[in-house]
Structure 1
Amino acid sequence: MIGLSPQNLSTTARKAFANAGWVFFDRIFRMATALLVGVWSARYLGPAQFGLLNFANVFPTVLTSLAGLGLANILITEIVRKDTFSEEQLLGTGFILRLVAGVVSLLIITVSVRILYSDQPVLQAMILFTSSVLVCQSVDVIDLHFQSRVKSRLSVIAKSIAFVLSTGLRVYFLANQFSLLAFSSIVFVEATLSALILIVIYNREDGQHIRQWRFSKPLAIRLLQMAWPIMISDFFIFLYMRSDQFLLKELASDLELGKYTAALRLSEVWYFIATAITSSFYPSIVKLKNQDEAAFQRAFRKLLALLSFISILIAVFISFTAPFLTQLLYGQQYSGADRILIIHIWSAVFVFTGVGSSYWFILHNKQRILLLKTVAGAVLNIVLNLVLVPDYGAVGASIATLLAYMMSSYLMNYFVKEARPVFFAQSVAFVDAFKINFIRSLLKRDE
């Protein structure tokens, strides 16, 4: 699909697909495990407690963008370009920046929950456990290093080991009927294990060790100047991805929140595919952009077409099987979750193409447009939730999310002049995705 010359186009594409395959394996493994353990948890806890357990993830999820500082794609880009700063400086500076931001984020959450939920000590403790990931994610700069070298398998190995161990702990808690607080602590265990194993694997690579990392103040300033629009944009993305859950708890009930969360588990679980495919091709796209603009545009269109094809296929499949899936997995106590899922799953189409097109804005240094689009989507989502949730509950929240994603990821590209090429590329991709020779063209060499 994407390469640096006609001669190595297919080789680069196959390497990228193989890299994405490791990410697919990780997520599919987690999905399969969720059928056995995650659903067991949902049935054991019931909709109300299950909703609270997932609500504890809202605070850290919203502040993930602050803790990450929007540096992920920028660090990958800089590592691939190998411009002014060494990789050791990039990794060391990125690690320190994200570590400080993670600690600050955790402190913000600690103060917030003590004010908002002063009469709910258990919920406070649950949120603090789940928020531990904000500090641990600083080590994910190692994952970015592996992505830049198209070696996602090493990250997958680290995170899979941590996931298996934490899943074993979750099974033990279920079998022995542990409390809700115990289940929330598993997030802390998994995040810590993942970070430690990533460090061990990185240090075992030839010529690499975290002791070689160096912090550079000029680089830190440069990274923050480049990343702040993305950080704010990511904040609003997570805000309108999770504001619906907060409003459901406040304007509806824990029962509606539980059903909505159960539907989200089957809807948002697919989003990793967009990230896996796009991140696997991104290093090649960066190089291609600097060498051949026409080839870059063709590759970008093909990437969007691939993402469109996969997301629409998923949305159609889930729409037809939603009643069967929700009944099989969650049982009668989650009655109505299928209607929520049927609406929400179509958000995936705009999430997928939005993820793919976000790289275009970064490569063209137009991060502020991403920020504008995301803020507009977040505001629209919150307004629609305020209007729809009181009367329609979780179904209204699903409608609000779908419309917000459609506006932010797709339609706004037409109304912002500088982003209009992306709108037309996305529109063409929706058509290209269903051409008969589409799949064959993905790996076809340029003539």
Structure 2
Amino acid sequence: MKKLLNNPVFNNIFWLFLDKGYGALLTLYIYAKLATYFGTTTFGVWNYIISFASLLPAVASLGLNYIIIKRLKSNPLLSDKILSISFYLRLFTGTITAIILFITYTILNINFNSDLILVIILLFSSQIVMNSNIYIQKNEANLQNRKTVIARSISLTLFFILKLLAIQWALDIVYFALLTLLEYLLFFIIIKIKEDHKLKLPSTYIRKKITPSLLKEGLPLMLAAITTTLYLKIDQLFIASFTNNNDVGIYAASARISEFLYAIPVIVSNVFFPKIMKAFTKENIDKMLYQMFAIVLILAIICVLIISTFSDIIIEVMYGKEYIQASEILKIHAWSIILMSLLVTSSKYILKINRQDIIFKRELMGLTSNIILNFLLIPRYGIKGAAWATLISYSVSSFFSNFFFKETRPLIKKQFLSIYYILK
């Protein structure tokens, strides 16, 4: 047991699960409180704005999350320069993207009125701040996720208390948007204080050497992130267009629970990723892939079985009887956790072989199928149709798409046999 605890991989998995577990408990609790406080209609508007704002980091991250980790591992002498360039690139792109999204939001004119302008600006600004926090990737690269966990936990706890007080004082929706922005700002400040690195732009020569290669390598991942975010959130955008804000609130209540559990494959794969990048022999790579697939699949299956069995109780306890319709949606949506686990973990191997274009193509297949299915199913089956559209599209991107690429076909066998391999 002592040897296991001292292992850097399992040690970082522990810290990240501690972070996500603690964070999920607080965030889900406050999310449920907001759902009850706002009511289904206002809660639907709140989630529609958040769904729109979530497009910002997909674009403004420039696909650099894992590229930064790769570069820090392969070029430690240039780490300060890589971090500084990445920060300013993402800050600039985030600001431009926020302006474009705001203009697009007003043109679409769905859930838009003058009273919500400040809410939209604050939530968009919070995404700019979060997207610019490149120290998260630095800690992942160095297997020092403990630093991230401590900084996030401090900011999360403080603003959890403030949001509860805001509910107690019956404050307007704009104050909750402001608290979201301030929470991300505090997280960035705390994590930055513990760093010796100064956010100083390197010389023009260094910028010209590093920046183009970062952008080129990150482009397919940026496109993949955009498509992923779209088909994570586009169902709520479609529901708002085809039905009403009440249905958006009901659907978002159930989807939020399964989306929180998407953190499981992200955590495990993020910890394995630096190790996979350092592995060179096929035997070592295969061994790590089997381990990674097995861990996420076992955890995902356990989560799905619990949610499917107790969905009625989960929804009623969290949101109240007003949201009981969300239980049926949750039973469908929960199965996407398994598919998301396969998608996220297999992407790490694709990054290893430098075929970022495959990640984008797989995500594009999923997005295309999701858009078509939403158009077909939501008008006929309502929010249940949106849940089935999400589930089917995830199966397309996470599993069936692997048949189309020579490089990913071996992953099919590993995904199927991973649990048997570990047990054996």
Distance 2:221 2:49 in 1: 25
1:166-181 maps to which residues of 2 (within 5 A)? 166-181=159-174
Of 45, 66, 72, 2:59 maps to: 66
Distance 2:317 2:131 in 1: 38
Residue 386 (structure 2) aligns with: 397
Letter in 2 for 1:88: D
Residue 333 (structure 2) aligns with: 344
Letter in 2 for 1:92: S
Residue 154 (structure 2) aligns with: 161
Distance 1:220 1:422 in 2: 32
1:281-320 maps to which residues of 2 (within 5 A)? 281-288=272-279, 290=280, 292-320=281-309
Residue 109 (structure 2) aligns with: 117
Alpha carbons 1:410, 1:426 under 8 Å: kept: no
Q: CA deviation at 1:258?
A: 0.7
Q: CA deviation at 1:115?
A: 2.3
Of 96, 101, 104, 1:104 maps to: 96
Q: CA deviation at 1:276?
A: 1.1
Residue 365 (structure 1) aligns with: 354
Residues 136 and 32 of structure 1, relative CA distance in 2, 3 Å threshold: same
Moved more, 221-230 or 10-19: 10-19
Distance 1:429 1:98 in 2: 37
Aligned residues: 419
Of 245, 253, 261, 2:236 maps to: 245
Alpha carbons 1:117, 1:124 under 8 Å: kept: no
Residues 386 and 432 of structure 1, relative CA distance in 2, 3 Å threshold: farther
Letter in 2 for 1:266: I
Gaps of 5+ in 1: 1-9, 438-447
Q: In the alignment, does 2:245 pair up with 1:254?
A: yes
Q: CA deviation at 1:293?
A: 2.2
Residue 88 (structure 1) aligns with: 80
Residue 269 (structure 1) aligns with: 260
Distance 2:202 2:150 in 1: 23
Distance 1:81 1:32 in 2: 36
Letter in 1 for 2:265: A
Gaps of 5+ in 2: none
Distance 1:212 1:12 in 2: 39
Alpha carbons 2:85, 2:201 under 8 Å: kept: no
> Could you state the TM-score of these two structures normalised by the residue count of structure 2?
0.94
Q: CA deviation at 1:427?
A: 2.2
Alpha carbons 1:88, 1:212 under 8 Å: kept: no
Q: Deviations over 1:88-124 (max 9, x none)?
A: 1111111121111111111112222232339612333
Q: CA deviation at 1:71?
A: 0.4
Residues 121 and 298 of structure 1, relative CA distance in 2, 3 Å threshold: same
Q: Deviations over 1:373-427 (max 9, x none)?
A: 1111001001111111112211111100000001101111013233211222222
Of 408, 415, 419, 1:419 maps to: 408
Distance 1:310 1:411 in 2: 22
Q: Secondary structure at the match of 1:418?
A: coil
Alpha carbons 1:388, 1:396 under 8 Å: kept: yes
1:19-30 maps to which residues of 2 (within 5 A)? 19-30=12-23
Residue 32 (structure 2) aligns with: 39
Distance 1:37 1:418 in 2: 43
Q: CA deviation at 1:66?
A: 1.0
Alpha carbons 2:276, 2:349 under 8 Å: kept: no
Q: Secondary structure at the match of 1:140?
A: coil
Q: In the alignment, does 2:173 pair up with 1:184?
A: no
Letter in 1 for 2:162: L
Q: CA deviation at 1:156?
A: 1.2
Alpha carbons 1:139, 1:198 under 8 Å: kept: no
Q: CA deviation at 1:213?
A: 6.3
Q: Secondary structure at the match of 1:132?
A: helix
Q: Deviations over 1:158-199 (max 9, x none)?
A: 111111222222112101101122222222111111111121
Q: Secondary structure at the match of 2:143?
A: coil
Distance 1:221 1:24 in 2: 35
Alpha carbons 1:61, 1:238 under 8 Å: kept: yes
Alpha carbons 2:312, 2:324 under 8 Å: kept: no
Moved more, 298-307 or 135-144: 135-144
Alpha carbons 1:59, 1:127 under 8 Å: kept: no
Alpha carbons 1:274, 1:307 under 8 Å: kept: yes
Residue 220 (structure 1) aligns with: 211
Moved more, 414-423 or 399-408: 414-423
Residues 125 and 431 of structure 1, relative CA distance in 2, 3 Å threshold: farther
Moved over 3 A (4+): 10-13, 208-215, 430-433
Residues 430 and 225 of structure 1, relative CA distance in 2, 3 Å threshold: same
Alpha carbons 1:113, 1:124 under 8 Å: kept: no
> Could you state the TM-score of these two structures normalised by the residue count of structure 1?
0.89
Of 307, 311, 318, 1:329 maps to: 318
Letter in 2 for 1:121: S
Residues 169 and 366 of structure 1, relative CA distance in 2, 3 Å threshold: same
Residue 128 (structure 2) aligns with: 135
Residues 432 and 319 of structure 1, relative CA distance in 2, 3 Å threshold: farther
Distance 1:234 1:116 in 2: 22
Of 350, 363, 371, 1:382 maps to: 371
